[in-house]
């Protein structure tokens, strides 16, 4: 659970939970205020909301992306996560800048994360590509800049994200420590405020700490009920590194009821008990677990639901049930580079996994699945 001393809070007569009532909100849809997510202080001294808006989505580009970001801002999201690899930085930036011009938000109240892609690990490319990303976003600085993956890919041109030859992905032997050192220079130049990692394992995080002058403020990894990565999360917490959780729902699939915890009788019971959706219950659980989930959504209803999780708290018994779900296999594997020495994941994992857990694996009724499932979480990074 995130220690309360790290959360920025504000008392409010209508709620007993910690929350931010930012100074930039305007009345929307008849509401007198917008309730925003609490914030956690990073080791760099800056604050980050404990819930973010993810933008990786197969078709979350162009008008669909800008519309989703507009909706997220007006709903109350202030933490936005994108990446060079998602190819939507321009869309995200355009929507945020428009909201600033409309007076709905200020730049200082936005926490914007983007990432350095694998084809730009060469230290000579880091500043150049970051400048390009700043132009795409339309801002003068990035709040959090992450090293997307420890394995570097061969750079052919900026537009080729996965360089292939004879059916094989072309990688490099660039040491991620050298890349990290180049990212540290971006902080000194004022181009980014904080830097962190993504998809790094415990040993790799430790090596970054030992071999550089600054430690990461964040490690963004896959976390969801059934794949909580407790050892990694505990290690990061011990070192003052915040864990951001992608794929926070485990990529629910209605057709095969996977992962089954999401569609189980146990989850159905929680939905009735708390009068919240399955997605809201999971997000509340993850925030209390001490990670920062970044669910993605394009549906305005789901966007609103994802933020509306700070007016309830799970009972200890329900939290224990979610903590006790039998461990599953990871979803995002990057198997195509599993032979690289910097590959961060276990190499003997099977491609398929079974969901067996203590939430009673009986699927929800069809109409209840459709009313409670946040089905925007189709891919997770």
Domain 39-337: give its CATH code: 3.20.20.100
Q: Parallel, antiparallel, or unpaired: how do β-strands 218-222 and 242-246 relate?
A: parallel
Q: 314 — phi, psi (to 5°)?
A: -75, 140
By C-alpha distance, which of 232, 230, 246 is closest to 202? 232
Catalytic residue status for 86 = yes
Give me the pLDDT at residue 368, please.
35
Query: What whole-number distance in Å separates Cα of residue 69 and Cα of residue 65?
Result: 6
**What pTM value is reported for the model?**
0.85
Which of 86, 145, 235, 261 is labelled catalytic?
86
Give me the pLDDT at residue 189, please.
98
Query: What whole-number distance in Å separates Cα of residue 238 and Cα of residue 232?
Result: 10
Q: Per DSSP, what are the bridge partners of residue 345?
A: none
Give me the pLDDT at residue 268, please.
96
Query: What whole-number distance in Å separates Cα of residue 132 and Cα of residue 93?
Result: 13
Give me the pLDDT at residue 221, please.
98
Give me the pLDDT at residue 348, please.
63
Q: How many CB atoms lie within 10 A of CB 22?
A: 19
Q: Using an 8 Å Cβ cutoff, are 240 and 43 in contact? A: yes
Give me the pLDDT at residue 256, please.
87
Measured CA distances, 251 to 225, 373, 378 (Å): 11, 11, 5
HEC string for the chain: CCCHHHEECCCECCECCCCECCCCCCCCCCCCCCCECCEEECCCCCEEECCCEECCCCCCCHHHHHHHHHHHHHHCCCEEECCHHHCCHHHHHHHHHHHHHCCCCCHHHCEEEEEECHHHCCHHHHHHHHHHHHHHHCCCCEEEEEECCCCCECCCCCCCCCCEECCEECECCCCHHHHHHHHHHHHHHCCEEEEEEECCCHHHHHHHHHHCCCCCCEEEEECECCECCHHHHHHHHHCCCEEEEECCCCCCECCCCECHHHHCHHHHHHHHHHCCCHHHHHHHHHHHHCCEECCECCCHHHHHHHHCCCCCCCCHHHHHHHHCCCCCCCCCCCHHHCCCCCCCCCCCCCCCCCCCCCCCCCCCCHHHHHHHCCCCCCCCC
Q: 4 — phi, psi (to 5°)?
A: -65, -25
10-residue mean pLDDT series, the chain (381 residues): 41 31 38 78 98 84 94 97 97 98 97 98 98 98 98 97 95 98 98 98 98 96 97 98 97 88 96 98 98 96 97 97 94 94 81 37 33 41 41
Give me the pLDDT at residue 255, please.
85
By C-alpha distance, which of 255, 299, 244 is closest to 277? 299
Give me the pLDDT at residue 33, please.
66
Give me the pLDDT at residue 372, please.
36
Give me the pLDDT at residue 35, please.
81
């Amino acid at each position: 659970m995130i220690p309360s001393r790290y959360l920025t809070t504000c008392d409010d007569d209508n709620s007993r939970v910690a929350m931010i009532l930012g100074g930039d909100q305007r009345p929307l849809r008849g509401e007198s205020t917008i309730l925003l997510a609490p914030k956690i202080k990073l080791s760099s001294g800056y604050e980050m909301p404990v819930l973010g808006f993810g933008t990786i989505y197969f078709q979350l580009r162009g008008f669909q992306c800008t519309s989703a970001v507009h909706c997220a801002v007006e709903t109350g999201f202030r933490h936005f996560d994108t990446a060079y690899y998602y190819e939507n930085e321009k869309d995200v930036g355009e929507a945020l800048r428009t909201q600033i011009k409309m007076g709905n938000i200020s730049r200082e109240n936005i926490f914007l994360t983007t990432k350095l892609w694998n084809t730009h690990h060469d230290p000579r490319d880091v500043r150049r590509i970051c400048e390009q990303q700043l132009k795409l976003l339309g801002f003068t600085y990035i709040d959090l800049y992450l090293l997307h993956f420890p394995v570097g890919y061969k750079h052919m041109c900026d537009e080729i994200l996965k360089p292939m030859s004879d059916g094989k992905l072309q990688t490099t032997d660039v040491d991620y420590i050298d890349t990290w050192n180049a990212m540290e220079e971006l902080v000194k130049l004022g181009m980014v405020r904080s830097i962190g990692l993504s998809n790094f394992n415990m040993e790799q995080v430790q090596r970054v700490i030992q071999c550089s002058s600054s430690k990461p403020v964040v490690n963004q990894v896959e976390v969801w009920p059934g794949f909580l990565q407790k050892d990694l999360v505990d290690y990061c917490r011990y070192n003052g590194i915040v864990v951001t959780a992608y794929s926070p729902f485990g990529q629910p699939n209605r057709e095969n009821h996977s992962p089954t915890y999401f569609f189980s009788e146990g989850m159905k019971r929680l939905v009735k008990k708390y009068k919240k959706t399955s997605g809201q219950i999971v997000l509340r659980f993850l925030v209390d677990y001490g990670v920062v989930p970044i669910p993605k959504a394009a549906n305005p209803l789901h966007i609103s639901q994802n933020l509306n999780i700070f007016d309830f708290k799970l009972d200890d018994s329900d939290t224990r049930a979610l903590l006790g779900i039998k461990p599953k296999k990871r979803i995002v594997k990057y198997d195509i580079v599993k032979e690289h020495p910097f590959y961060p994941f276990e190499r003997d994992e099977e491609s398929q996994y079974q969901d067996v857990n203590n939430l009673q694996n009986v699927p929800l009724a069809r109409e209840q699945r459709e009313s409670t499932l946040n089905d925007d979480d189709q891919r997770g990074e």
